[in-house]
Structure 1
Amino acid sequence: MTGGNKERSKKRFFQGDGDSKSAGGPKRQRRTGNEVQLTPGMIGFFVSATKGRERMASKEVSGLITEQLESLYADALAAASAPAAASTEADTESKPAAAAASSIEDDIARELSNLAESKGDNFHSSHLQHLGMATDCLLFLQLTPAALATAVDPVRVIENMFEELVGGDGERKAPRTRFAHRIIPFQATCKADEDEIAKTVADLVEKNPPSESKEGKASFALNVKIRNNPRVDRDRLIAKLAKPLVDAGHAVNLTQPEMSVVIEVIRGVAGVCIVHGGRYVRLRRFNLHEVYAKGIDEGVAAATNEEAAVAEGVEKAGESAPTK
């Protein structure tokens, strides 16, 4: 085989497998080795997206989440922004007037630096930091700073966002996203270890009990997804998570659960959230495309209301029954 044929063979073999625009298919996520990785302790939003369009999906979702943060957590946003503003003002006042006036060259260098950072796998959008992941079609939006992440409930943000995307008047709204598929709020993240995940779930259930259900007992379902981690066994993890919930009086209901425990394992990290009131199923498991196409699953809400009415009727019947 001649040298020219070898070169052509290489080009054919690598076509569509890199970042080149000439290669067929969408571009893969760039991995520089310097990107911030998803680590235990982070709080935010896990997003699945069209391959090669992760950055576009990130910008779509960031805009929607920022709207919810400004609407639901205006005070927390103001408090989180205040220290940064005060620090900037102090730095400006401490500099001499001559040094404060930067040259045109400095301004250009700063703009180029910011542009270079925005083209990497990680970039900031308001109080959300995009984390490029080592798996295509996936990304994470971390809530920053830590004070804001502590004050915000990611589940409430996503529930409210999905309700507004569909609208309460029954009229289907035009889709506001194109490349984002699902958004899973992470109320907590931990090491991808079965015991650590079980402890994290137990802590979240204790902090977020099913208050909408009678006597704090609720039907539940475990939604477990494991990616790129052969050490975590799904069946064993589900058994470990289900036992304490059943022992506490919660009943299993895989079709119309009042409480959904969602666990996403990605490599060495697990993200967890608890969704109450049947809203995880009602809101199509936070799948944007499903909600745009079918709307909210009102059958779940009707079934939940019917169960509550039956329970209330049984309770009243017991109270009015004559005693012997």
Structure 2
Amino acid sequence: MATGDQSKKRKQHYRPQNRPVKKKGAYPLKPGVQGFFISCDGGREFQASQEAINVIDSFFEELMHGIDSKAKPGLFDNPINKKVTFSYSEDEDEDEDGDGEEDESNDAEEEENKGDGEKKEVTEGSDSQVIEKELASEGSCGVKSLVETEAEKDKVDEEKQKNGVDEPPRKKACMEEANPLAKVNENAEKSIDKLIEAELKELGDKSKRRFMKLDPGCNGLVFIQMKRRDGDPSPKDIAQHAMTSAAATKKHMSRFILRLLPIEVSCYPSEEEISRAIKPLVEQYFPVETSNPRKFAVLYGARANTGLDRMKIINTIAKSIPAPHKVDLSNPEMSIVVEIVKTVCLIGVVEKYKELAKYNLRQLTSTN
């Protein structure tokens, strides 16, 4: 007799050769991405990531299609269910009035002829006999004509059958003419179904998603990657629009999100990599030839990495900014955010960092 432990045999799982192992959960954070660096309550990373995608997507749609546009323009310009009102013409009204007058004249003539009914029956007795004979003759002629027409139709049908000619399908054509909107409705339904299927495929395909969560590997942190396309606003524009609208409306937009920072460049945390990766940001926000020099400050933060020198990273970024622009730690116009998470350095540029509560959504929307 086998014991219970020996009877339960474990299944052996074999790894297929030359195939990567599929990892469950979000993809890890790596250099070369851009998006949004979000802090949240510890243990609420999953809820914060789902919430952040919805919040960021809503502000992205506002920038793309306007603030008050909740639906895409042109979607309901030609609705299928449309209220139709009928207007009657003046000719039809005149015809109706004319019919009423004729009915009144006929009623008057009948009332006048009621008293003279006996005289007409006596005096016009002979005429009535003549009229009955004429009607009988007309009836016989009508019957004859009907019989003749039916006989002609039978002859024509026999000739067609002999010649092998069939009648055209008139009923089907009439039905198609009577229901012209049937084909339009079928085509509309097919096009809507195709659009829904395409959208579902796009949502299921992770490569076509605009916003996707990545795992930074630290407690209380979330990173939302943005796959930017041509004509899309930058993460800086989306984050700044979200903070300004939150400060103006004081409307609660999130439950788990604390701070939302835009990230436009990511690289390995070394001085050479940082100085090379920050060049496009310097050319975009801190041009050499400008009549309006900016005051800037460098904001440094590190998580799960203690092997880097804080001042070396800050000096590397400050030296890459050209001369017309100056450092001002008390009242900067632009702030360069540097967040180091394990072996990834995230860099972004924000405006009015202190005025907008350090880009903290919870503080901006709190009424206390």
Distance (whole Å) between structure 2 residues aligned to residue 179 and residue 210 of structure 1? 37
Shift of 1:249: 2.5
> Is 2:301 the counterpart of 1:228?
no
Alignment deviations for residues 62-115 of structure 1 (CA, whole Å, 9 cap, x no partner): 11111111121359xx9xxxxxxxxx969x99xxxxxxxxxxxxxxxxxxxx8x
Contact 1:210–1:216 (8 Å) recurs in 2:
no
Q: Which residue of 2 aligns with 1:60?
A: 51
- Seq. identity, %: 27
Q: Residues 240 and 132 from structure 1, CA distance in 2 versus in 1: closer, same or farther, beyond 3 angstroms?
A: closer
Choose from 354, 359, 367 the match for 1:286.
Answer: 359
Give the SS at the match of 2:336: strand
Distance (whole Å) between structure 2 residues aligned to residue 157 and residue 273 of structure 1? 13
Distance (whole Å) between structure 2 residues aligned to residue 63 and residue 267 of structure 1? 27
Q: Which residue of 2 aligns with 1:138?
A: 221
Give the SS at the match of 2:353: helix
Shift of 1:188: 1.4
Which protein, 1 or 2, shows the higher relative CO under an 8 Å CA cutoff with sep ≥ 6? 2
Contact 2:38–2:260 (8 Å) recurs in 1:
yes
Choose from 135, 156, 163 the match for 2:244.
Answer: 163
Larger radius of gyration: 2
TM-score by length of 2: 0.52
Q: Which runs of 5+ in 2 are unaligned?
A: 1-22, 67-71, 73-192, 199-203
Aligned residues: 217
Q: Residues 125 and 164 from structure 1, CA distance in 2 versus in 1: closer, same or farther, beyond 3 angstroms?
A: farther
The one-letter code sitting in structure 2 at the alignment partner of 1:137 is G
Give the SS at the match of 1:280: coil
Q: Which residue of 2 aligns with 1:270?
A: 345
The one-letter code sitting in structure 2 at the alignment partner of 1:131 is L
Matches within 5 A, 1:1-324: 35-74=26-65, 127-144=210-227, 146-147=228-229, 151-167=232-248, 173-209=250-286, 215-245=291-321, 248-276=323-351, 279-293=352-366
Give the SS at the match of 1:151: coil
Distance (whole Å) between structure 2 residues aligned to residue 154 and residue 274 of structure 1? 10
Contact 2:247–2:356 (8 Å) recurs in 1:
no
Shift of 1:264: 0.8
Contact 1:194–1:232 (8 Å) recurs in 2:
no
Distance (whole Å) between structure 2 residues aligned to residue 229 and residue 267 of structure 1? 5
Superposed CA RMSD in Å reads: 3.6
Distance (whole Å) between structure 2 residues aligned to residue 139 and residue 256 of structure 1? 29
Shift of 1:202: 3.1
Q: Which residue of 2 aligns with 1:314?
A: none
Distance (whole Å) between structure 1 residues aligned to residue 359 and residue 50 of structure 2? 18
Distance (whole Å) between structure 2 residues aligned to residue 39 and residue 151 of structure 1? 22
TM-score by length of 1: 0.58
Q: Residues 203 and 68 from structure 1, CA distance in 2 versus in 1: closer, same or farther, beyond 3 angstroms?
A: same
